Amino acid sequence: MVQIKTVGVIGAGQMGTGIAHVCALAGYDVLLHDVSAEKISAGIALIEKNLTRQVSRNIIDHEAAQAAIARIKPADELQTVAATDLAIEAATENEEVKKNIFKALAPHLGPNTLLASNTSSISITRLASVTDRPERFIGLHFMNPVPLMKLVEVIRGIATDAPTYETAVNFARSLGKSTTNAEDFPAFIVNRILVPMINEAIYTLYEGVGTVEAIDNALKLGANHPMGPLELGDFIGLDTVLSIMNVLYEGLADSKYRPCPLLVKYVEAGWLGRKTGRGFYDYRGETPVPTR
């Protein structure tokens, strides 16, 4: 098994910064890359903010937070990430975007570098096929928000070898995470179950069965969910929800996975949830307000 000391994270958004955060806290040296220096700087600032929040809640101490942020370095050039022991892609949930990242990395990779994708739905086998090392490629699907959620889904592609799998599981557990094994089917386990539920909640709204507030309260109070499904969709990002539903619909060829037309309309309008200030709730005021 490869001994992992350095981790490269590609993507400084919500998931990438979360992964960098937990890796640095666990003692790994981290290189964080995105398409611009501004995005990398914003990502590192977000990590600092979240570490400070953990200190204020007595989850970690000040020294641990300072040591963690010192371990995270910006990587302006993608090829810099290729020199790490483990490179984790955490870009947008789009197959072509992810494949292009791995293609660009390939000429610069060291012989022992392991590759991982944080994809929440896309075939690990297909992503691995564009690299020179499909046997050293694996899916590590972290849950959002990464610092709080305990689970990592580990997904082997058809070519993933046993040492890569064992290294990946040990790495995830070194971050304080629990792992579950998922086969390489569309959306794996968590999102195969969770995202169709969100889509069905949107259908329930679309068909007039209930309002946003009624649907979310029904699941929070009737099923003991911490967040309602529409609120959760906004938190994940409605563009991501739509991408996952499309992967399920196309990959499994079953009409039960057809994305709700209202979900499509919201994404076309740019109403993607919390990150854009508007989705099934309007987040631009002091408190979120249902939009329907």
Q: 174, 150 in Cβ contact below 8 A?
A: no
Round to the nearest angstrom and report the end-to-end CA distance of the chain. 53
* 94 annotated active-site: no
Active-site option among 153, 199, 231, 243: 153
Active-site option among 21, 141, 199, 243: 141
* 191 annotated active-site: yes
Active-site option among 120, 121, 199, 243: 120
* 153 annotated active-site: yes
Residues near 81 by beta carbon (within 8 Å), at least 6 away in sequence: 8, 9, 10, 31, 33, 75, 87, 105
Residues near 113 by beta carbon (within 8 Å), at least 6 away in sequence: 82, 83, 84, 85, 86, 87, 133, 136
* 120 annotated active-site: yes
Q: The dihedral of CA 213, 215, 216, 217: what is its sign?
A: positive
Active-site option among 117, 121, 123, 191: 191
Task: Give the residue numbers annotated as catalytic, written as ranges.
Answer: 120, 141, 153, 191
